[in-house]
Copies of this chain bind each other. A is one copy, B any other.
Amino acid sequence: MTSTHAASRTPQQDRSRATRRRLLEAAVECLAELGWNGSTVAVVAERAGVTRGAAQHHFPTREDLFTAAVEHVAAERLAAVRAHADGLPAAGPARTEAVVEMIVRLYTGPLFRAALHLWVAAATEATLRERIVTLENHVGREAHRAAVEFLGADEATPGVRETVQATLDLARGLGLANLLTDDAPRRKGIVQHWSSLLESVLHPTG
């Protein structure tokens, strides 16, 4: 499944993989723009430029498609963040602030908006609920792990784990505050102050 096997894939397998990816990306776009009600398999297939039959070949149910889509795009965003981690300041308060900004950016973009529509739909739809809980646990764990790594947080220090978790919860709250209006100006000051508090917990000056 890794790229070293690419040479052994047939052109048909490559096309199938590309179709799958287009469907997943279109599904997240649809969710973010149209919400759960407006996001049918047919709408996604049309946006991805594939037939509805092809979409259903890849994802037998609507729930399969959208759960896989949020999982796929979350993994892609996290990979992109890792790929650009060299660009972060090396250490200290500037790095902490840059990492908090990066986390908050993930939670205020279209991926979060898509996930939010899915979570809220899952609150009242039994067919979605269990798989979204599993998805949320998985994505939440990965986000926490990445935050710990980028912040250089030592979770053995009392209070550090909770403060890193609080940073992700704050980002989620800021994402929600950004749903209906552009909250960027207000958010800026909060992110700055939060970062300096977080820095004081991560690296207390003696």
Contacts and interface: CB of A to CB of B under 8 A. Distances in A.
Contacts of A170: 166, 169-170, 173
A85 B120 CA distance: 33
A196 B200 CA distance: 13
B190 A169 contact: yes
Number of copies: 2
A189 B162 contact: yes
A179 interface: yes
A121 B163 CA distance: 32
B166 A190 contact: yes
A168 B186 CA distance: 13
Interface string A167-206: 0111111111101110000100110111011000100000
A165 interface: yes
Given A162-B193, A174-B169, A193-B159, A136 B186 contact: no
A37 interface: yes
Contacts of A193: 159, 162-163, 166
Contacts of A35: 120-121, 123-124
A57 B39 CA distance: 34
A159 B197 CA distance: 10
Interface in A82-123: 113, 116-117, 119-123
A132 interface: yes
A129 interface: yes
Closest 6 CB pairs of A and B: A173-B173, A172-B173, A169-B173, A35-B124, A162-B193, A120-B120
25 contacts: A34-B124, A35-B121, A35-B123, A116-B176, A117-B120, A117-B123, A122-B180, A129-B180, A159-B193, A161-B189, A162-B190, A162-B192, A162-B193, A165-B189, A165-B190, A166-B193, A169-B170, A169-B174, A171-B173, A172-B172, A172-B176, A172-B177, A173-B175, A173-B176, A197-B197
